[in-house]
Amino acid sequence: MSGLRTDDSVKVVLEGRITAYTAAPIWKDALDTLARNPDRPIVVDASRLEYADDVGIALLFDLLRRDRPPQAKVEMRDLASNLAALVEAFDPKDFAQPPPGRPQIGILEHIGRVAAQEVAYVKTIAGFLGQCAGALWYAIRHRGLVRWGEVVSVATEAGANAVPIVLLIGFLMGVIIAFEIGLVAQQFGAVIFVVNGVGVAMLRELGALMTAIVFAGRTGAAFAAQIGTQKVNEEVNAIQTFGLDPVHFLVLPRLIAAALVVPLLTVLADVIGIFGGALVMATFNVSFVQFYNQLLGAVDTGDFVLGIVKAAVFGLAIAGIGCQRGLATGEGATAVGLSATSAVVKSIVWIVVLDGIFTVLTS
């Protein structure tokens, strides 16, 4: 492109090919020429313009639509007739308004919307909890009608396949707890009482808690993604049109599987965690025999049962939340991912809340 000043007008020459890949400097130069000459007429010589794609057409249109004083209009000369027809197909009035931006929401409106969403969520959850309670009660009274094959399948995937990671996490928890308390207890000559700490912590709290967190990340997300995908694919609609209840069909097997599997995994975590603690105590010159005897005196059946009951409740909560998030999946490519993420976050929050409730009730 070149610009030449004559007596009263400025000539802009467009030549060659104007395409998406070549238009940028040409467009900028042309607009700069217009800006530098606000009161002079502009003559655009398009006689040597060989080719223009969609961006080229947009450039020509942009030059012609500019709002300039009557004596300083832009005139296009010798533009090929077919190009001119393409440019004239657009009305400058259609582009007078700027393109719509993304909707901006103020902070107060955002807070209000979030609050309203949470209230709606609590209502949805209350209804869902009622449906789950009804489904569980139904399963207790009609055990033969439960899809036990699905329960076993879910339990295998959620339970058996989670054993390695639960063993690893449980072992590390036992080691860390024993080591951290041991370092402090050693200063007071009370190393032997670390066994009490490891035993009580693992059986009452950490065994169930860490197992539940692993279960939430691994299986809670999977439940949400599986059911969410079924929702997006309209499989849930298909279940309903057969007269089946999605809660009985999809959610109940997962609730039962989780209630069975999480306590079993917790037992594994407890055992391996206590073993890990014993290994660390050996470095503090507490033998396995001493560890065992001290442990038997420190914990009782009630601690173990409490941990298992917590684990079952955590399992039900994680499965329920995962399934509810799945059933509430929206539409679009990101919906399933959002459901899975939401399931994990909400599960972890509720695990901690329920743990707190248990602590208050059993203190």
Partner 1 sequence: MLQTPNPLGSVRPASSERPPAISVRGLKMGYGTRVLLENASFDVKRGEIMVILGGSGSGKSSLMKNIIGLYRPMDGDILIDGTSIVRARGQDKASLQRKLGVMYQSGALFGSLTVLENVRFPLDQFTDLGLGEKNLTARMLLRQVEMGYAEGFMPGALSGGMLKRAGIARAMALGSDILTLDEPSAGLDPITAANLDRTILSLREDLGFTFVVVTHELQSIFAIADRAIMLDPVSRSIIAEGKPSELCDHSDDPRVRQFFNRQSDAAMHKAKP
Which residues would be at the binding site for partner 1 (CB under 8 A)? 17, 19-21, 23-25, 27-28, 49-59, 61-62, 80-83, 86, 90, 94-95, 99-102, 331-334
In the complex, least distance from residue 115 CB atom to partner 1, rounded to whole angstroms: 24
In the complex, least distance from residue 340 CB atom to partner 1, rounded to whole angstroms: 16
Whether the CB-CB separation of 18 and 26 falls below 8 Å is answered with yes
Based on CB atoms, which residue is closest to partner 1, 18 or 274? 18
Cα-based angle 303, 306, 312 (whole degrees, multiple of 5): 145
Based on CB atoms, which residue is closest to partner 1, 54 or 109? 54
Task: Retrieve residue 282's tokens.
Answer: 């050996």
Based on CB atoms, which residue is closest to partner 1, 58 or 260? 58
Whether the CB-CB separation of 239 and 231 falls below 8 Å is answered with no
Based on CB atoms, which residue is closest to partner 1, 8 or 331? 331
Residues 6+ apart with CB under 8 A from 270: 170, 202, 203, 207, 304, 307
Based on CB atoms, which residue is closest to partner 1, 99 or 106? 99
Beta-strand ranges (E) seen in the chain are: 2-5, 10-18, 42-52, 74-77
In the complex, least distance from residue 78 CB atom to partner 1, rounded to whole angstroms: 12
Distance, CA of 212 to CA of 314 (rounded, Å): 6
In the complex, least distance from residue 97 CB atom to partner 1, rounded to whole angstroms: 10
In the complex, least distance from residue 343 CB atom to partner 1, rounded to whole angstroms: 20
Q: What share of the chain is helix, strand, coil (3-state, %, to 5)?
A: 75, 10, 20
Neighbouring-strand partners of residue 2: 13
Based on CB atoms, which residue is closest to partner 1, 272 or 336? 336
In the complex, least distance from residue 26 CB atom to partner 1, rounded to whole angstroms: 10
